[in-house]
């Protein structure tokens, strides 16, 4: 996991953190599960949803790199 994603993961309550860790472990064996969305124009960048959260990650060769775990609607990140 990238350091910012690790920091984000630590901020969640334990039950939610446990759910995310389980989902992240599942990505190791199936990095492109049903429902995954590939970012257009961005090689190797994907997103999955877990409830109201999005897990954004990259697949580079055999490595899976989790970049962010975000909450909220996608337009919230573009607001100033």
Residue-wise pLDDT tens digits, 33-76 = 999 999 898 888 999 998 889 999 998 877 888 888 887 655 54
* Confidence category of residue 79, pLDDT binned at 50, 70, 90: very low
d(CA 67, CA 4) in angstroms, rounded, equals 7
Domain ranges within the chain, ordered by starting residue: 3-73
**Token reading at 57:** 């990650």
pLDDT of residue 60: 83
Res. 3 pLDDT band, cuts 50 70 90:
confident
Q: If one looks up domain 3-73 in CATH, what number appears?
A: 3.30.2310.20
The whole-number average pLDDT for the span 25-33 is 90
DSSP H helices in 12-62: 14-29
Instruction: Note the pTM of the prediction, 2 decimals.
Output: 0.76
Quote the CA–CA distance of 80 and 58 in Å, as a whole number.
26
């Amino acid at each position: 996991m990238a350091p910012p994603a690790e920091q984000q993961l630590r901020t969640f309550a334990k039950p939610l953190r446990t759910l995310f860790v389980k989902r992240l472990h599942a990505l190791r064996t199936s990095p492109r599960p049903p429902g995954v969305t590939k970012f257009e124009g961005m090689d190797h960048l994907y997103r999955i949803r877990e409830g109201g959260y999005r897990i954004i990650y990259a697949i580079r060769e055999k490595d899976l790199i989790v970049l962010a775990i975000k909450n909220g609607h996608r337009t919230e990140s573009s607001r100033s």
